[in-house]
Amino acid sequence: MTQPPHYQAPDAPAFTPYDWRVGTNTLAIVSLIGAFFIPIVGVITGFIALGQIKRTGENGRGLAIAGIIIGIAGTVLWSLVVVLSILVSLSTTTF
């Protein structure tokens, strides 16, 4: 079957193949997982991962941001628990 005379073959492929060499940043994964156990670890490693991702072009930006957000929320929650427990213990003690 021949192509019509006005047909021109495309210069580039119709799709861009996924580059399998670009992986997910390891610190971004550590940030997300660490945020659930030791929240400050999630915050610190999340910010480090964002810097690495910007520099290297790796995947995992969303994981790093999620680790930062969950880590900040966990840190605030633990801080409130500590402050409230101190206040409760001070209010219940007799001098």
Q: Is residue 57 part of a domain?
A: yes
Strand partners, 59: 24
* Residue 14 is assigned to a structural domain of this protein: no
Q: Is 51 among the domain residues?
A: yes
Is 33 a domain residue? yes
> What pLDDT was estimated at residue 43?
97
pLDDT at 1: 61
Distance of CA 70 to the CA centre of its chain: 10
Number of domains in the chain: 1
Q: Rounded distance, CA 75 to CA 64, Å?
A: 16
Report field, pTM of the whole predicted structure over 0.95: no
**Domain assignment of residue 82, given as a range:** 26-92
On whether residue 8 sits in a domain, the answer given is no
Q: What is the mean pLDDT of each run of 10 residues along the chain (95 residues)?
A: 64 68 92 97 98 95 98 97 94 76
